[in-house]
Amino acid sequence: MAFDYAPAPESRAVVDLRASYGLFVDGEFVDPAAGGSFKTVNPATEEVLAEVAEAGPADVDRAVAAARRAHREVWGPMPGRERAKYLFRIARLLQERGRELAVLETLDNGKPIRESRDGDVPLAAQWFFYHAGWADKLEHAGHGPDPQPLGVAAQVIPWNFPLLMLAWKIAPALACGNTVVLKPAETTPLSALVFAEICQQADLPPGVVNILTGAGDTGAALVAHDDVDKVAFTGSTDVGRAIAQAVAGTHKKVTLELGGKAANIVFDDAPLDEAVEGIVNGIFFNQGHVCCAGSRLLVQESVADDVLERLRRRMTTLRVGDPLDKNTDVGAINSAEQLAKIRELTAVGDEEGAERWSAPVELPTSGYWFPPTVFTGVSQAHRIAREEIFGPVLSVLTFRTPDEAVAKANNTPYGLSAGVWSDKGSRTLWAAGRLRAGVVWSNTFNKFDPASPFGGYQQSGYGREGGRHGLEAYLR
C-alpha cells in the first residue's frame, strides 16, 4: 500500500453565501440604479456561487459623492490616532473571520486553501495592523512636516489576490485620511463584499469605504470620474495604459502596479534544493497568477541539468486538485478566459520550438485547470520568454557568466521583481545592484511584508505600495 493522503477538505460551512449581493455605498448594501447583475463562479467546479450587482455610472456618482462627503465631514478631519483605532479593529476582525475569508477566497478564486489560510488572509490583516501604526505618525514618514490626505481614492484591483490586494489599497489610503471607492475584479468580488460587512462591524463611518462590483466598464467609469483625487490600479499592463491615458491632464495622482516577467537567477554556487523550492514557489504559487512570479528561470549552464532534474522530480510531487483540500499545492485557473490565454501562449511556445514538459498530474474533469509546466530550450527571442503568461508555466533559459545573467534578466519591458540564488553574498549584492526590478529576493521568492515597498520599473508600472514609501501615494 502506498501513502495516499486521504481527502482533507476544509469545511464550507463557515461561509454563509447569500444568493445575491448588492453594492456597498455609504455604509449600506444597496441595489444598483440600473439593476444589472452578473454571476460569480467557483473556477474549480464551474458552480455558480452568487449573483452580484453590476454598478453603472449612476452608482459610481453615488459612491464617489458618499466618499467625498465622508472625507470632508468625518474621515479627513479625524485625528490620526482615532483613524488608527478603526484600522486596528478591522485588522482584528479580519483575523477573527479568517477561516471564513480563507474558504470564501478559495471558493471564488480557485487558490489552494493552504495559501489563502496561511498567506492571503494573515497578510491582509498584517497590512491593516501595519498601517494602523502609521495613522498618527504621518509627519514622521519623510513626506513633509504636515502631510495631508488627497481626498477620494478610486481603486481597481485584480482577481489573483482579491482580499490581499484590497488590503494593499485600502489600508494605506485610510491610514493617510483618504476615503475610497474600490472595485474588485468581476471574477472574484465576494471577499470584498464580506470586507464591506467587516466595515459595518467595525462601525467605520458610512462612506469611508465603498465597494462597487462590476466589470471593465464600471472600473473605467470610476477612474474617469471628475471628483476622484487619486487612482490606484493593479492589473494588466494594457488596462494600466488605458487608465494612464484616461487620467492624463487631470489633477489625479496615479499609481499603477502592472505585469511582470521576472527572472529567477540560479548561480552554480546556489543552495540547490532550496533554489528548486524557490523556483517552484516562484512560478507555481497561486497557479502562477502572480504579477511578480518568477516566470523566467535563468540557470547557470554548469548546473542546469542538475537543477532541471531536481525541478522535474519536485514537480511530480505537486498535488494539483480540489482547492479546498488542505493538502493541495496547486489549485484551479481563475477563469475560462485566463485558461484560454495560457493555452494560446503555451501553444506558441511549442510552435517556436521550445520543449514542453508538464508534471504528470490527473486534472479534474470540470472547472479550469492547467498542469504545472516547464519549457526548456527557450531563448530571449521567444514570446514565452517575453510575454506575461500569468499561469503555471515556467520558461527556462541558461547563462554562462554573471554579466550574461544580468543582461538577460534586464532584457524585458517589465521590471517588477527578480530572484538571485547564490551562497556568495558579494555575488548576490553585485547582481541585486544591477537588476532593474522593484524587488530583488535573495535565496527566496514571493515573500511579502507590509513594511517593504513594492512596485515596478518600465511597463510594470509606477509608484510604490507598502512601507514608508507607499504612504507617499496617498499624501500631498
Partner 1 sequence: MSSPAVTATPAPDRAGALADVATSESSLRRFLHGLPGVDQVGAEARAATLGTRSIKGDAKAYALDLAISMVDLTTLEGSDTPGKVRSLAAKAMRPDPGDRSCPQVAAVCVYPDLVATAREALTGSTVQVASVATAFPSGRASREVRLADTREAVADGADEVDMVIDRGAFLSGRYLRVFEDVVAVREACLRADGTRAHLKVILETGELATYDNVRRASWLAMLAGGDFIKTSTGKVQPAATLPVTLVMLEAVRDFHAATGTVVGVKPAGGIRTSKDAVKHLVVVNETAGPDWLTPDRFRFGASSLLDDLLMQRMKLSTGRYSGPDHVTVT
Catalytic residues: 257, 291
Nearest to residue 165, comparing CAs of 71, 255, 41?
255
Hunting for cell 499592463 — which residue is that?
Answer: 237
Rule CB under 8 A: say whether 302 interacts with partner 1. no
Which residues between 99 and 158 bind partner 1 (CB under 8 A)? 114, 118
Rg (C-alpha) for the chain, rounded Å, is 22
* Min dist. Cβ of residue 276 to partner 1 (A): 10
- The answer to whether 277 contacts partner 1 (rule: CB under 8 A) is yes
CA gap 92, 33 in Å, rounded: 34
CB hemisphere CA count around 12 (13 angstroms):
9
- In this chain, which stretch among 178-186, 226-234, 274-282, 458-466 interacts with partner 1, using CB under 8 A? 274-282
CA distances from 305 to 28, 109, 397 (A): 59, 35, 12
Of these, 317, 360, 362, 365, which contacts partner 1 (CB under 8 A)?
A: 317
The only residue of 65, 90, 270, 308 in contact with partner 1, by rule CB under 8 A: 270
Candidates 216-224, 271-279, 294-302, 340-348 — which segment interacts with partner 1 by CB under 8 A? 271-279
- From candidates 4, 146, 226, 362, binder to partner 1 by CB under 8 A: 4
CA distances from 97 to 17, 22, 93, 100, 132 (A): 14, 21, 6, 5, 19
Number of residues that bind partner 1 (CB under 8 A): 25
Cβ neighbours of residue 359 under 8 Å, at least 6 residues apart? 312, 315, 316, 318, 320, 371, 372, 373
206 vs 271, which CB is nearer to partner 1?
271
Q: Which of 85, 99, 326, 436 contacts partner 1 by CB under 8 A? A: 326
Stretch that binds partner 1, among 4-12, 38-46, 90-98, 344-352 (CB under 8 A): 4-12
And the C-alpha cell for 161?
A: 489576490
Does residue 19 belong to the site contacting partner 1 (CB under 8 A)?
Answer: no
The sheet carrying 373-376 orders its strands as 355-358, 373-376, 393-399, 296-300, 263-266, 417-421, 439-442
Q: What residue type is assigned to position 470 of the chain? A: G
Site string for partner 1, 414-443 (x = CB under 8 A): ---------x-------------------x
Residues that bind partner 1 (CB under 8 A): 1-8, 114, 118, 269-275, 277-278, 317, 326-327, 423, 443-444
